[in-house]
Amino acid sequence: MSLKRGVRGVISALGLVALVACGDKDTVTDDSGDGPAVNPDAPTISSFTVICQEYSSGDTYFLWEIAGQANDPQGAENLELYADLEAYRGGGLIETFEGLVVIGRDGQIVGSIREDTSGLSCSDPSEFLFKLYVSDVEGNVTVGEVQGA
């Protein structure tokens, strides 16, 4: 067998394997190779902030305020009502908040967490990384990340 014929056979076999591996119609691929695949049916987060504010109404207290805007290809009304929020410090997960962040039928994201009950000190808000998990009724999920402010 010549080297040319052997290489051509290997290339043909590899091409067949690649076609079989990519044959799943549910798989979304990124042809650029620069990043992860993007699900075209997943929600989007166009803005997302987590800011610690001081309030004085009788007692002085600090409140983490979560705000943003989400949407879905099928319309904002297709988004789940609640989003999960995770707080990280130094790369490690320190707290998960469920049912505290609400997404309105217009896609508006709102929520708040008191400093004194959350365990998240407002002395240096930027030490925290927050991840917001927004999902739609089909189960598609998008994760937004932001530093505390």
Is 53 inside a domain boundary? yes
Give domain status of residue 27, yes or no.
Answer: no
Tell me if 100 is assigned to some domain. Answer: yes
Which range of residues forms the domain containing residue 60? 44-147
Note down pLDDT in tens along the chain; length 149 residues. Answer: 443 333 333 333 333 333 333 333 232 333 445 666 778 999 999 999 999 999 988 889 999 999 999 999 999 999 999 999 999 999 999 999 999 999 999 999 999 999 999 989 999 999 999 999 999 999 999 999 999 99
CA distance 64 to 113: 5
Answer yes or no: is 14 within a domain.
no
Domain for residue 23, yes or no?
no
Domain count, the chain: 1
136 DSSP β-pair partners: 79
Give the residue among 66, 117, 80 at the shortest CA–CA distance from 95: 117
pLDDT of residue 34: 61
Contacts of 87 (CB under 8 A, 6+ apart): 93, 94, 95, 96, 97, 118, 120, 128, 129, 130
CATH number at residue 56: 2.60.40.1300
Assess if residue 15 is contained within a domain.
no
User: Is residue 95 situated within a structural domain?
Assistant: yes
